[in-house]
Amino acid sequence: QLVESGGGLVQAGDSLRLSCAASSDTFSRYAMGWFRQAPGKEREFVVGINWRGTLTYYAGSVKGRFTISRDNAKNTVSLQMNSLKPEDTAVYYCAAELYGTARLTGTYWGQGTQVTVSS
């Protein structure tokens, strides 16, 4: 089970930190990532980190602004989002994939958390 938290309403230029808690004793075996879905659009990949925690991969639209990190001791993955833009507004989903790469497609999903960036 994946549970996201940390979403909210912020202004453009602000920062926000999302967290995803996993209820699994084998968390360290999973690649983790974040996807998002804006109204009327398909779900898109945002960022991923491989199961070893050694590689990350970012979508071009967030590279340099977002940072993913994982804490295997706490079974959590976080997404630090800086310099937020109105186009970052979406429901953000945490995803997991067993022994996946940083470019995971996601096998397990959280319920999503809303991020709204006002201009």
pLDDT of residue 27: 94
Phi-psi map region of 2: left, alpha, beta (phi>0 left; psi -120 to 50 alpha): beta
pLDDT of residue 24: 81
Q: Measuring CA to CA, which residue among 1, 4, 7 is closest to residue 117?
A: 7
pLDDT of residue 57: 98
* Contacts for 19 with CB less than 8 Å, ≥ 6 apart: 4, 5, 6, 76, 77, 78, 79
Averaged pLDDT, 39-59: 96
Averaged pLDDT, 54-69: 97
pLDDT of residue 25: 83
